[in-house]
Amino acid sequence: MVKVKFAIPKGSLEEATFKILEKAWTKVNRKERTYRVFLDDPDITVKMLRPQEIPTLVYYGLYDVGITGNDWVGETNADVQSLLNLEYGKIKLVVAIPDNYKFKSFDDMIKSYAKKKKTLRISSEYLTTASKFIKQQKSYKKLYGSKDPLIVTPWLRLGTNKNVQIHLSFGATEAKPPDDVDAIMDVTETGTTLTQNQLKMIDTVLESSAQLIANKNSLQDKKKREKIFDIVTMMRGAVHGRKYLHIYLNVKEDNLKQLLSEVSSLKKPTVSPLSQKGWYGVNTVIKKSDFYMMVPKLRKIAQGLVVHEPRQILELEEIKRDEES
């Protein structure tokens, strides 16, 4: 059997990634101080890597599938296939400035610095994304045309426009203004860290979450494709499992019709007669978000409610259609 190589992220996405892997597979083992992870499927080999590296490594075929943020897919310009939004690791990439600055947008900032003939310096880990975003600003197009902002790293200089500079950040980006740079482009979840460092957001560049991505050539390999879609099935099931509850309840025959009509979330439930005459068991899956609204009705109509959070909900027919399309 052909093995599929699977890259998973180390760092900020690590904990949430292991949680979803543990829901998707029955055994997930990681040896201490190693980067190897073992699933209970011998045809999948797993290694932990930095999320920044994963899109490029998947693109070049060193790994068949990987988990990373779509922010890093865009930053690396990796031509990979996105298979599944895993719906965790949700962040915003924003432009932030010192909170005593009066600019209402990044476009205003570019215009003001150019008028005063001041060099505008931005710090970011996202060099490609920052350059694209800057060049999209109306003021930048009017003032500098198609010139690329100067990208500054310890080992490389790219771009010709020294008036607007992007300086590579190696972390603690929020600590750099106003002494070292004028603005930052950085990720945030709640904005708390920015506020603590006397910064404010003036623009949102993009929103990102963890994605399951694949090498396009691997998807053309029939044997690898089958195993890759096994991975998609398992992980999609785990994603759906977090959104639903499996409930089982007992209800009197007199109340059964009312239960099924009033509780709209009960779609296609299994209804079975109990050993005690006049009672039925109702077994179904509902959205977590609907549960709190159902409880008052169930208290009046039903009895003996059991609630279970499923590990996975596998939509096998849907996956099959995806494969055929």
Domains and CATH numbers, the chain: 4-89+209-241 (3.40.190.10), 92-207 (3.40.190.10), 244-316 (3.30.70.120)
Q: Report how far residue 58's alpha carbon sits from residue 67's, in angstroms, rounded to the nearest whole number.
A: 10
Query: Rounded to 5 degrees, what are φ and ψ at 215?
Result: -75, 130
Read off the tokens for 190: 């709640």
Q: Report how far residue 87's alpha carbon sits from residue 239's, in angstroms, rounded to the nearest whole number.
A: 7
Q: Report how far residue 13's alpha carbon sits from residue 9's, in angstroms, rounded to the nearest whole number.
A: 6
Q: Each residue of 120-162: pLDDT tens digit?
A: 999 999 999 999 999 999 999 999 999 999 999 999 999 999 9
Q: Report how far residue 283's alpha carbon sits from residue 321's, in angstroms, rounded to the nearest whole number.
A: 27
**CB-based contact 177:100 (threshold 8 Å):** no
Name which of 160, 76, 80 is nearest 126 in CA terms. Answer: 76
Rank 217-226, 264-273, 291-300 by mean pLDDT and report only the highest. 217-226
Buried b (16+ CB within 10 A) or exposed e, 136-145: ebebbeebbe
Place of tokens 């930048």: 140
Q: Each residue of 22-80: pLDDT tens digit?
A: 999 989 998 777 899 999 999 999 999 999 999 999 999 999 999 999 999 999 999 99
For residue 72, give Cα distances in angstroms to 105, 210, 306: 24, 10, 42
pLDDT for residue 321: 44
Q: Report how far residue 122's alpha carbon sits from residue 165's, in angstroms, rounded to the nearest whole number.
A: 6
pLDDT for residue 266: 65
Q: Report how far residue 259's alpha carbon sits from residue 252's, in angstroms, rounded to the nearest whole number.
A: 10
Q: Which amino acid is at 187?
A: V
Q: Report how far residue 274's alpha carbon sits from residue 239's, in angstroms, rounded to the nearest whole number.
A: 33
Dihedral angle over CA of 170, 174, 175, 179, nearest 10: 100
Q: Each residue of 159-210: pLDDT tens digit?
A: 999 999 999 999 899 999 999 999 999 999 888 899 999 999 999 999 999 9
pLDDT for residue 303: 85
Half-sphere exposure of 307 (CA within 13 A, CB side): 10
Portion of the chain with pLDDT greater than 70, in percent? 95
Q: Each residue of 110-121: pLDDT tens digit?
A: 999 999 999 999
pLDDT for residue 121: 98
pLDDT for residue 317: 57
Q: Each residue of 199-252: pLDDT tens digit?
A: 999 999 999 999 999 999 999 999 999 999 999 999 999 999 999 999 999 999
Query: Rounded to 5 degrees, what are φ and ψ at 306?
Result: -120, 130
User: Average pLDDT of 294-322?
Assistant: 78
Averaged confidence pLDDT in the chain:
92
**CB-based contact 28:22 (threshold 8 Å):** yes
Q: Is 85 exposed, middle or buried (0-12, 13-18, 19+ CB in 10 A)?
A: middle
- What's the DSSP call for residue 269? -
pLDDT for residue 122: 98
Give Dmax over CA atoms of the chain in angstroms: 87
User: Average pLDDT of 12-29?
Assistant: 93
Read off the tokens for 9: 């992220």
**CB-based contact 183:96 (threshold 8 Å):** yes
pLDDT for residue 324: 47
